[in-house]
Structure 1
Amino acid sequence: MAEKNVLVLTGGGDCPGLNAVIRGIVKSARKKTGWKVLGSIEAFNGILKDPMEVVKLNKKKAAGIHVKGGTILKTTNKGNPFDYPVENSDGTWSTADLSDELLRRIKELNVEAVINIGGDGSQRISQKLHEKGLNIIGVPKTIDNDLSGTDITFGFRTAVQIATDSFDKLVTTAESHHRVMIMEVMGRDAGWIALHTAIAGGAEVCLIPEIPYDVNKVVNHINKRYEKGKGFVNIVVAEGAKPIDGNTFAKASTEAGYEHKRLGGVAYRLSEELKEAGCKADIRETVLGHTQRGGTPIAFDRILATLFGIKAFELVADGDFGKMVAFKNNEITAIPLKEAISEYNYIKTDAYEIKAAKSIGISFGD
């Protein structure tokens, strides 16, 4: 039997659980005669570099990696093959469509199929490559939980646990100093991490991208708590949160190939807004940043990621391409990539979690 190669890559931001997916794929492939697993370093960059950076993923390389954060294949969010950064002779940068060259090189490696582990942007690339004839399977990965094709993505619950642990520590120092503590978490367009952390940590205020906030209502909520004699307030704010009459706090990126604006620092803007709106309390800010992406995945994410990896290889072995594995109604399944990326997973303003949070006194500034 001729040997078959499956190529695995991890794209976008790193995320707890990526290595568990890789391990699940490698172990599944070992059970299937004739299959070998290759890994592309830094997503599609490994294929497009000269020379190519592709490694063999064997039993030894995959051993014990499920407990490690990050990804042994490295990752990047600056390697879209349809809009690939290219340095010009004068030192400036432009972009080019290298998708045909990518497909040529993948064929050169005798690759039967590709498993692309990544978030919304990565799966949009998967769909476009599938439309060009590539045998590809997607695995949903994002700490933001912003892919609507699956009930939950691995990495999300670990990020919430990290954020909640940090929030718990801020509650005690806020109480000790009678302060308003603002904790900024990730969440560019969807506020799932902020919402779940607020509920788990018992926040007084939660500000998310889906609900533009009125700073005066936030100040009123703070003042009422101080008037009741509870002299401290804890606020969770997603990095993409914005006031009703303002914009997301972001800066244009100068990095070649990076398609998004750089977020971060909304906690400091909110602090100034609160002071300008008349908040008299002492305010401190904490920005968690990339700590939410790092470290050991919790048990749930290790299990989910492993199951995703196993399912991804099963789809490859069955020749059922153009799909993304998913967790739906407590089952591991697969859906068409086109369906997976058809709708962004925003928090609906009438979602039960929003209603529940409001019922226990959390203000969204609306």
Structure 2
Amino acid sequence: MNEVYFPLAAVATTFFVVIPLLTLLCRGALAWSRRRTSSWANFGSETTFGWLVAPTLLPILWLTSSALHQSEPGIAADPCLMDHVATTCVDTFMLLGFMLAGIVLTVGVRLWREWPQTPLHRLGDAHELSQSIGLIARNDAYLRSLRIAVVEHSTEPIFTLGLLRPIVVMDACFVRDADASMLRAALLHEYAHITGLDTLRSFMIRLCLSVNPAGSLLQADFARWRSAREALCDTEAVHHGGEPLALAESIVKAARFRCGALLPNAAALCGDNAIALRLRVTLLLDGPPAPVKTLGHIILLLTALAIFGVPHLEGFGLLEHFHFEVERVLHLHQ
């Protein structure tokens, strides 16, 4: 029974102490970012994404990397003061098993929950609506690479679905009611979502917040990030040649078309916030600013690599010290 104390203590400390403290820190950083930004749309930057996932992602990476390091031959038994099963210190192997199983289970459950429950009735490539959309895509250098499906009875007029190989889904009614310039502008908006990996990033944020005990503190900032991403994708669509007025008209038409709730795993043209929608249209009519890019992705990647690598350096065995202290406390009480 002694074998489970260290893994449980390590997981509990990480999830109920470290992650909540980092969440409070990141929430403060996001509040500061909102106050200093020149436009609400800039909140949809890569840096905001980094602040949303960092409090959960970085501690889990560190704990997993530390458990891997402590499981290496010649290191696993070092922090053990007590004899366990067959005089072998198996605590770290149990911790590593907990972490890997938890990661696989959490990702699997999240994917299952967000899998579309309603099948999409796709029109064939020979259908006139599919051909008209195909013609628009082929005549635009940015849109040629898009995977596009025209469907019937969709809950959204146009949205991007999928994590690794996104596809743009368009409802047949929306395609019939929109002219070519509106459809091109709407597709360029979805193209911006795809190049920005928005469906994958949204999934990562939801995944991190779902396992974060203090994740509710960041839910409002996540909603602001999604709304701001829609505005930034509008800006990029215009930057790539979309007509601002046509895009504004397509946004309004898409908002009026909607007959269901926004899919959790999709990036939709009309978003899910009426106030943000009005602000987006105003920005388009006033002339959208140049697209904004930040270094949030690079900083997050470098920080994650550093945190993953630190436990393997000599003299940085924080988990080993924690393991030793847990063993010492148990030894004293026996």
Instruction: Note whether the superposition's TM-score is higher than 0.5.
Output: no
Greater strand content: 1
Q: TM-score scaled to structure 1, two decimals?
A: 0.22
Greater helix content: 2
- Greater radius of gyration (CA): 2
Q: Which has the higher contact order (CA 8 A, sep 6+)?
A: 2
Q: TM-score scaled to structure 2, two decimals?
A: 0.24
